Structure 1
Amino acid sequence: MKRLLLGVALLVFGGLLAFGGGRMVYRARASEHWPVARGSVLSSKVETLRSRRAVSFRPHVRYSYTVGAEGYTSETIAFGALDTGNVQEANDYVRRFPAGAPVELRYSPEDPSLACIECGQAGMADYVVTVGGGALMLFAALGLVDVLGSQLRARRRQRTLAPRGEAPHQATRG
């Protein structure tokens, strides 16, 4: 039973990874064809991300724009991850979008609140997460098939070993 639950958990986890990464890759590709709008950069800075093992830097740009009569703000630069271990690289990126500067962006025609500045770029991490999640799903599904097949074979063996008219004996643990 534990192996079955573990297989289901890995299948679900792999599915979530594949879906999340795949959604980012899809949005990156689809955004290349979205309508263009002009906006204005509200703020621009480099965020420092610290973990136990490393420090990384993420460019953070907040901008506003108008579609029709509605005003929107967004912080999505690109759908791919822009984190870097190089503070200079992150600073160079942020300098391209100083506060108050005009910015050209693309927005989703179905949901104008979804926008990006550097559209069409999916990061390598997004592809790795998508493929890794898919591989995890495949291995979990194969494992589940094996576990269920083993259980089915064990039940069949039990039925053939039991004398006619008697229920198979259950093993007890003591």
Structure 2
Amino acid sequence: MMKRLLLGLALLVAGGALAFGGGRMLYRAKASEHWPVVKGAVLSSSVETLRSRRSVSFRPHVRYSYTVGAEHYTAETIAFAAVDTGNPQEANEYVRRFPAGAPVELHYSPGEPSIACIECGLAGMADYAVTAAGVVMMWFAASGLLSVSRSGLRARRRQRTQAPGGTAPPRETHG
């Protein structure tokens, strides 16, 4: 029973982390549309090639700087949605749109100005999928933990109601 309890708790925590991470990205994507706007400058722009055993994908990498108040910041977030693609032309399109040295208009979080984005309001399917997977994991973990807890309580009740000789004590009947 302890193994099941620990597994359920681990799944609950993992699901919570997924739901929180995906939900935070969805929230930031939507909220960023209404963040304050400031002008900045692109510091560098390139395409990164990501290789795995089964595929190759391309990630546009845009680094930019901006000033809020007296503080100077640099950031690399294009959008809160994933911008990785299997098409090098799509990744290169970002590089062409945001060349090094070009001015850029960006949105920054009023509560945490170090968080910024160039293309705000975009949320990807991956963010929705991660959030949904986290919620589903939490639901299964919570229902499993509830089931383990109930069966443990039933087992303890049975142990308490059994007499030392192995038989249940007689029940009182009211007539």
- Using the size of structure 2 for normalisation, the TM-score is 0.90
Matched letter for residue 61 of structure 2: H
Is residue 2:114 matched to residue 1:120?
no
Matched letter for residue 65 of structure 1: Y
Matched letter for residue 131 of structure 1: A
1:162 counterpart residue number: 163
Q: Give deviations 1:60-106, integer Å, cap 9, x for gaps.
A: 00001111222111101011111111111111122110111111100
Alignment of 1:95-106 (within 5 A): 95-106=96-107
1:169 counterpart residue number: none
Aligned residues: 164
Instruction: Tell me by how many angstroms 1:29 deviates.
Output: 0.7
Instruction: Tell me by how many angstroms 1:41 deviates.
Output: 0.6
Aligned to 2:54, what secondary structure does the other structure show? coil
1:167 counterpart residue number: none
Give the RMSD, CA atoms, in angstroms: 1.1
1:38 counterpart residue number: 39
Instruction: Tell me by how many angstroms 1:55 deviates.
Output: 1.4
Instruction: Tell me by how many angstroms 1:53 deviates.
Output: 2.3
1:142 counterpart residue number: 143
Instruction: Tell me by how many angstroms 1:48 deviates.
Output: 1.0
1:172 counterpart residue number: none
Counterpart-to-counterpart distance in 2, 1:91 and 1:139: 42
Counterpart-to-counterpart distance in 1, 2:163 and 2:9: 32
2:24 counterpart residue number: 23
1:55 counterpart residue number: 56
1:64 counterpart residue number: 65
Q: Give deviations 1:139-159, integer Å, cap 9, x for gaps.
A: 100000001111111111112
Aligned to 1:82, what secondary structure does the other structure show? coil
Q: Give deviations 1:94-149, integer Å, cap 9, x for gaps.
A: 21101111111001111111110001111110111011101100010000000111
Question: Any stretches of 5+ residues in structure 1 without a counterpart?
Answer: 165-174
Aligned to 1:62, what secondary structure does the other structure show? strand
Aligned to 1:56, what secondary structure does the other structure show? strand
Is residue 2:81 matched to residue 1:80?
yes
Matched letter for residue 74 of structure 2: T
Instruction: Tell me by how many angstroms 1:163 deviates.
Output: 2.9
| Aligned sequence identity (%) | 78
Aligned to 1:42, what secondary structure does the other structure show? strand
2:11 counterpart residue number: 10
1:153 counterpart residue number: 154
Matched letter for residue 97 of structure 1: F
2:172 counterpart residue number: none
2:133 counterpart residue number: 132
